Amino acid sequence: MPAETTIDPATAFAGIPRSPGSAKSDPILVAEHINRHFGGLTAVDVEHLQVQRGVITALIGPNGAGKTTFFNVLTGFDRPDSGEWRFDGQSLKGMPAYRVARSGMVRTFQLTKALAKLTVLENMRLGATQQRGERLVNAMFRPRWRQQEKEITERAYGLLERFQLAGMANEFAGSLSGGQRKLLEMARALMVQPKLVMLDEPMAGVNPALKQSLLGHVRSLPDDGMTVLFVEHDMDVVRDISDWVVVMAEGRIISEGPPTSVMGDQRVIDAYLGAHHDAPLTVEEEEQVLREAEQIEAVRAEETRE
């Protein structure tokens, strides 16, 4: 990891307006006019978004707001109907997903994609880029890749230790619990040595004990020079670890700012409460909406007291 100077979130966001699409002091990712329609439905309609380098940005919004679709578009897993976006100054428009990843922007998935019939260690090794042994001409001749494989394995064990998975290194990934799979997917993404880590609901379905350690890992990523953009539903988590929050609703970015100020924004509360007015909700969805709205209210109450 390049030892970049750690960016202090407070100074990074000094003087940044708390309005949708505001310009950042040092953006790693800039997206403009991104549109994605599914038939008549506009899933993503982002006018402008800048993601600050070296900090943790949360992307929140009610179910169906278009967060996952936005992630898919940015990472080359989906094509937008229109739009431009640059990562670290390089345009990613039309770039296939694997080249986006190689350029340093690596994502995880909302539905965890652990490679079940590969061992945990093999999952990790797969994450390393520029492997000589991954080329067909070299593959049959072990001496050509043995040394590199050793280095990769060491790096993999280092990350597995950190994510408390080292003991499971030789287990099939399919035998891990849901939470451990999330850990594995994140650790595997770090094997790519990304500049920007994009996590789609990394805490979903993770038990409270693991959640704390997962939170710790996410929080430590900027110290290693990485930028984090993550989607999350749990407002406590968002408030805990994010330096900046972007709120999406019905495909649009409706609010931006530090966690506490965003959660007090009337537009955000309306979005969470009103998002499903026209669509029937399942019981779980309704519960979640209410829970999130409650959390937002609680934060706001706290704010006004202070």
Partner 1 sequence: MDWGPLFTNSLEAAIGPVAITYCLAAIGLNIHFGYTGLLNFGQAAFMAIGGYGLGAAVVTFGVPFVLALLIGFGGTAVLAVLLGLPTLRLRTDYLAITTLAAAEIIRQVLGSLTLEPWLGGKDGRQGFAATVRDLNPFSGPVDLGIVGFRPFDAWVILIGWLAIALSCLVVWLLMRSPWGRVLKGIREDEDAVRALGKNVYGYKMQALMLGGLFGCVAGFMMGVSRSSVVPDNFQTDLTFFAFCVLLLGGAARVFGPVVGAILLWGMLNVLGNFFGQATSGPNPIIPTWIMDSNQSSLVRFIVLGIALMLLMIYRPQGIFGDKRELAIHAR
Ligand X SMILES: Nc1ncnc2c1ncn2[C@@H]1O[C@H](COP(=O)(O)OP(=O)(O)O)[C@@H](O)[C@H]1O
Binding region for partner 1 (CB under 8 A): 75, 77, 96-99, 101-102, 106-109, 113-118, 122, 125-127, 129, 131-136, 138-140, 142, 145, 149, 172, 174-175, 185, 188-189, 191-192
Report the partner that residue 305 touches, choosing among ligand X, Mg ion, partner 1, none (CB closer than 5 to 8 A by kind). Answer: none
Report the partner that residue 261 touches, choosing among partner 1, ligand X, Mg ion, none (CB closer than 5 to 8 A by kind). Answer: none
85 phi/psi in degrees, rounded to 5: -155, 145
Strands of 56-60's sheet in order across: 105-107, 196-200, 227-231, 56-60, 244-249, 252-257
Dihedral over Cα of 162, 168, 169, 174: its sign: negative
72 binds Mg ion (CB under 5 A): no
37 near 262, Cβ under 8 Å? Answer: no
**17-56: which residues touch ligand X (CB under 6 A)?**
38, 41, 43
Compare residues 62 and 222 and give the one whose CB is closer to ligand X: 62
Q: What's the min distance (Å) between Cβ of 208 and ligand X?
A: 23
The candidate with the shortest Cα–Cα distance to 122, out of 134, 138, 136, is: 134
Q: Which of 63, 119, 153, 213 binds ligand X (CB under 6 A)?
A: 63
Distance CA 110, CA 279 (A): 23
Distance CA 198, CA 39 (A): 27
Longest dimension (CA), the chain: 68
Distance CA 150, CA 76 (A): 31
Q: Which stretch binds ligand X (CB under 6 A): 64-72, 147-155, 159-167, 283-291?
A: 64-72
**246-305: which residues touch ligand X (CB under 6 A)?**
none
Distance CA 259, CA 182 (A): 24
Q: Which of 68, 112, 180, 255 binds Mg ion (CB under 5 A)?
A: 68
61 binds ligand X (CB under 6 A): yes
Report the partner that residue 43 touches, choosing among Mg ion, partner 1, ligand X, none (CB closer than 5 to 8 A by kind). Answer: ligand X
Report the partner that residue 131 touches, choosing among Mg ion, partner 1, ligand X, none (CB closer than 5 to 8 A by kind). Answer: partner 1
Q: What's the min distance (Å) between Cβ of 99 and partner 1?
A: 8
Q: What's the min distance (Å) between Cβ of 45 and ligand X?
A: 11
**78-117: which residues touch ligand X (CB under 6 A)?**
none
Q: What's the min distance (Å) between Cβ of 265 and ligand X?
A: 18
Distance CA 231, CA 79 (A): 20
41 Cβ contact partners less than 8 Å away, ≥ 6 residues apart: none
Which contiguous run of DSSP H or E holds residue 265? none
Q: What's the min distance (Å) between Cβ of 238 and partner 1?
A: 24
Distance CA 79, CA 94 (A): 7
Compare residues 43 and 106 and give the one whose CB is closer to ligand X: 43
Compare residues 68 and 112 and give the one whose CB is closer to Mg ion: 68
Other beta carbons within 10 Å of 47: 14
What are residue 87's DSSP bridge partners? 29, 90
64 binds ligand X (CB under 6 A): yes
Alpha carbon distance, N-terminus to C-terminus of the chain: 40
Query: Can you give the binding site for ligand X, defined by CB under 6 A?
Result: 38, 41, 43, 61, 63-69
Query: Contact positions toward Mg ion, by CB under 5 A?
Result: 68, 110
